[in-house]
Structure 1
Amino acid sequence: MERDIYKLLKQTSEQKASDLHITVGLPPMIRVNGGLKIFPGSEGDLLKPKDTKELIQPILEEKQREYLEENGHVDYSYSVPGWGRFRINVFKQRGSLSMAARVVSATVPTLESLMIPASVGDLARLNKGLVLVTGPTGSGKSSTLAALIDIINNERKAHILTLEDPIEYLHKHKNSIVNQREIGYDTKDYASGLRAALREDPDVILIGEMRDLDSISIALTAAETGHLVFSTLHTVGSAKTIDRIIDAFPPHQQQQIKVQLSTVLQGVVSQQLISKKNENGRIVALEIMRANPAIRNLVREGKTHQINSIIQMSGKNGMTTMDHYLFELFKKGLISKENALFYSLDQESMKRKFL
């Protein structure tokens, strides 16, 4: 088996895998098309604690080692010249070191390359407000955000400021100035980075994740004061996304947040990555919501359960529910009936579509 971490990372990229896993008691594992499998040539080669330590230590800098010792885990980005970039998480488990490394494309993707409708790009052409890209871990949120930021970078003379943990895609200055700050290295955390951002004359702010009440609150304020703010949540569906934001606040603040959110929210793009039918690879399924007067009223009044109905009636305005998108993928023969049902947000309604 190959015991050189640099070669393992290179070969992970060459295998078209999305992730490499190093952990005690198993050979190196890679994730291909959403499923885990043993790294080719490593069958039966079970890693011991000293093996994982020897593999992982060469790609840890001193500052990262210190953070790992103090917190039990560390996130960072790592570049292998000529091979690509990786988003790395090293963590302790049962006294040994483990690692998950995600392959990050060396080039910033486009919406077209991600098979996302061009209409989503209109969210990048807004002047202010809050745009959320949501979905489970590994659903491609960072790639979608990178594509949206690149549209702004190509089309506008703006100051784009990103706060990421870690930085994944590297943006070059084009028509815009792009400053990328990494949590834990360039700034302490999202909340302090956001407070500083408001004094750094940004037009556009990207927040890698709205993790807590502080970061959500500052993001809403930034959107309210004339900035275009992009961020992510791990929710699927517009209604759940809005509920998650409101529920982050104590009850006595929630009505105020509903009003604020109804004013600043511009759109929600929820996504899931689904295995294609009878072929390799995965395809994205989307829910696209654009805030219109009807949706803003529902948010303000706390009637988020009715948002889906508005989306269903607004197809001509570029909106789509997740279940409609899934059914269209099924009709085109791109995904199986089983996956259309499995990933649907209303399985009973989806079952009726198949009758």
Structure 2
Amino acid sequence: MEDMKVSFLKIITEAYGLRATDVHISVGCPPYYRIDGKLVPQEKYGKLTKESIMNALKDLFAEIGQPFPPKTKEVDFSFTVAEAIRVRGNLYYERKNPALAFRLIPKKIRTFQELGLPEILKTFVERKYGLILVAGPTGSGKSTTLAAMIDHINENFPHHIITIEDPIEYVFTNKKSVIHQRELGSDTDSFYNGLKYALRQDPDVILVGEMRDLETMALALTAAETGHLVLATVHTNSAASAPERIIDVFPAHQQRQIALQLANTLIAVIYQRLVPKANGIGFTPILEIMVGTPAVRNLIRENKLHQLESLIQAGARHGMVLFDDALVKAALKGEISRESALQFARNQEEVARRLGMKPS
């Protein structure tokens, strides 16, 4: 069969029309689209060859101003397609052949209501200063939630917002706020440098894409302490474990000071996962929320971090909720299936009991 000319821009446009969130390209396979969480092969393209992929990559990189051939074996890049789709791309090699993963992001920034996010998130970002942490595994919608938060500020407050991202995903348009978006690699060398210089740029709000290292975490805490609203992502598997994750990064002699800074600045920790909707079309964000109440701050200050989960469980009147409780609520409302709730539950036995099911 004659080698088919491949256009990544056409593939991405088609995938987006089919509600795909991701596209995977590799030698010897057709393109795969991730639709409603499942990978679906696009057989009409046949098996892609190394030559067709490299030609398509050359065309794409020429279109988006990326150097070709790439200088490294792994390349992150981002671009916009048809004014509607923001794409985050990653080129890598496997068995000496090129492969690509594209994440498709709607250019339109959705509101809290459109995303099904709780209203309490608005109160968090309406604070003058402090630290808001968003946690969750890769692909859990953290960037989408943060974009909704930033755009809520943008629509309602005359603030200067600086974002430091790797790469830029959602592109904001100035409304009431002025927003400067800085991308790792092209605009700044590191999250730490971006944050350090952001503090000299008269910001009201700073978004740090990831707090990966001790220096960035320390600077983010200082920024929150000195009158800035700081939003950042952290890699933890629950809201309650976020303070320990941050404190443990530091050497023992600094941990007391970091705990005090965290206690003084924490507005909230949001942990989220995307769970398939009951109708099988799309996903519902399920959020665990820990609010920085005086009681939560006291436990952090006194290093009683093991008690945080109990405090979340008892803190419904403050807007707090544990992940399993949020799952049960969503299942009882029919937003997600009981089977999905059980699959994602931390304590399957307890969730099964509350939903009248047998644990798997």
TM-score bracket, shorter-length normalisation: over 0.9
- The one-letter code matched in structure 2 to 1:37 is V
| Aligned ranges 1:84-163 → 2 under 5 Å | 84-163=85-164
Relative to structure 1, is the Cα distance of residues 74 and 200 closer, same or farther in structure 2, using a 3 angstrom cutoff? same
Kept after mapping to 2: 8 A contact 1:68/1:91? no
Deviation at 1:192, TM superposition (A): 0.8
Distance 1:192 1:63 in 2: 25
Cα offsets for 1:108-148 (capped at 9, x unmatched) = 11111111011211111010010011111111111111111
| Aligned ranges 1:1-355 → 2 under 5 Å | 3-39=6-42, 41-42=44-45, 45-60=46-61, 64-65=66-67, 68-70=70-72, 72-355=73-356
Kept after mapping to 2: 8 A contact 1:67/1:73? no
Cα offsets for 1:23-50 (capped at 9, x unmatched) = 12321111111111112623xx222322
Deviation at 1:342, TM superposition (A): 2.3
Deviation at 1:3, TM superposition (A): 1.5
Deviates more, 1:89-98 or 1:222-231: 89-98
- The one-letter code matched in structure 2 to 1:132 is L
Deviates more, 1:80-89 or 1:269-278: 80-89
Relative to structure 1, is the Cα distance of residues 220 and 68 closer, same or farther in structure 2, using a 3 angstrom cutoff? farther
> Gaps (5+ residues) in structure 2?
none
Deviation at 1:198, TM superposition (A): 0.8
Cα offsets for 1:244-290 (capped at 9, x unmatched) = 21222223322221121111111011110011224322111111111
Kept after mapping to 2: 8 A contact 1:220/1:261? yes
- The one-letter code matched in structure 1 to 2:168 is I
Cα offsets for 1:227-251 (capped at 9, x unmatched) = 1000112323212222221222223
Relative to structure 1, is the Cα distance of residues 157 and 83 closer, same or farther in structure 2, using a 3 angstrom cutoff? closer
Distance 1:41 1:67 in 2: 28
RMSD between aligned residues? 1.9
Distance 2:98 2:196 in 1: 34
- The one-letter code matched in structure 2 to 1:327 is V
With structure 2 as the length reference, what TM-score do the two structures score? 0.92
With structure 1 as the length reference, what TM-score do the two structures score? 0.94
Relative to structure 1, is the Cα distance of residues 197 and 300 closer, same or farther in structure 2, using a 3 angstrom cutoff? same
> Gaps (5+ residues) in structure 1?
none
Kept after mapping to 2: 8 A contact 1:67/1:74? no
Distance 1:82 1:173 in 2: 17
